[in-house]
Amino acid sequence: MLFEPFHLKKLKLRNRIVMAPMTRNMSPGGIPTIEVANYYKRRAKAEVGLIISEGIELSHKASSAYPNCPRLDTKEAREGWKRVVSGVKDEGGSMIAQLWHSGAIRKKGMDPDPEIPGFTPSGLTSPGKKKGYAMTKKDIDEVIEAYTQDALWCEEIGFDGVEIHGAHEYLIDNFFWEILNQREDDYGGSIIKRTKFATDIIKSIIGTVDKDFVVGLRFSQWKQQNYEAKLAYSPDELEQFLKPIQSSGIDFLHTSMRRYWEPEFEGSEENLASWTKSFSKLPTISVGSVGLDKDFQETTRWEEEAKASKPASINKALSDVENGKYDLVAVGRALLADPEWVLKMKEGRMKDLVPYTKECMLELR
């Protein structure tokens, strides 16, 4: 079933395997190069069902936190993305753009404008540390407008949709997380109120783009600085969190986990994607070290600690999709290391798979 077609809204995917968004830092000046276009095209040619782009920095003054990430706010950048999307479509693929604002991860002194600090819900950049800029309602409105404009540009470029990055301690996740969101207005407080920033963005985009344009949201429990962090500590809290998001008109949910095979809550073996699907009834993507035997953190530490990650069975993912626990499976590092991962898995050629090492992050294979 994993290798069979799937309809996401009116978008027909040739299979249920998704290329997960992975930051590459290889777009100088925010402009995707020919090498970036060829990188995505190779995956489309090798039958990836849906490609989600690396995070594209939102067209907002405080969105950046990493060098050489792609953007949309110049004609040259948009032309670069047109080349990327055209290459994917030429190979029969589908592609969604991930829109990304770094939020609290940004620090004052970073490019492109060192004077701009990280924008956060309450000025908090980590628990108890108020080193960022606390957003006003006007700032919130400006960021919502930027998301909407970027989504329109993505539609004009030819992307099939957008994914809003709401995970991993970036801006939208800062609003979701009670540790960093200490606001006392409509955007803070209960777990339901903390979803308002995201749902306002989603509603604004949906109200502006074509009705067939796909809009999704990625979220996570874990944070960059705290792998054990939670937005929801129980299934009931997760259901509360998801209800307003589901009601916003969102088309799919992408649940980011470190290890997709691990249960999310005590007393059940179901992972976050399975719980999300059961509550939202929306198409749901599961991700987290799919096809590998080690998680991301274990393979990206400093020289003496980093470990290669060997190919691993995806039998659990196959079984979960077959049993309707979630709908799609996103593959990250395994697909980054081997552009033909989908074809090799489909044909049972496990021995031919290229293992992932941290060196894979240094080039566009």
Compute the distance between CA of residue 288 and CA of residue 74 in angstroms, rounded to an integer.
Answer: 33
Exactly one of 39, 147, 170, 356 is catalytic; which is it? 170
Distance CA 135, CA 116 (A): 13
What six digits make up the tokens of 20? 């997960």
- Which of 284, 15, 296, 16 lies closest to 163 in space, CA to CA? 284
| 326 catalytic per annotation | no
Taking the C-alpha atoms of residue 239 and residue 252, their distance in angstroms, rounded to an integer, is: 16
Q: Classify burial at 219, counting beta carbons within 10 Å of its beta carbon; exposed 0-12, middle 13-18, buried 19 or more.
A: buried
How is residue 293 written in tokens? 């035997």
| 45-66 b/e (C-beta count within 10 Å ≥ 16 → b) | bbbbbbbbbbbbbbbbebbbbb
Q: How far apart are CA 320 and CA 362, in angstroms?
A: 33
What six digits make up the tokens of 188? Answer: 């803070």
Do the beta carbons of residue 105 and residue 57 sit within 8 Å? Answer: no
* Residues carrying an active site annotation: 170
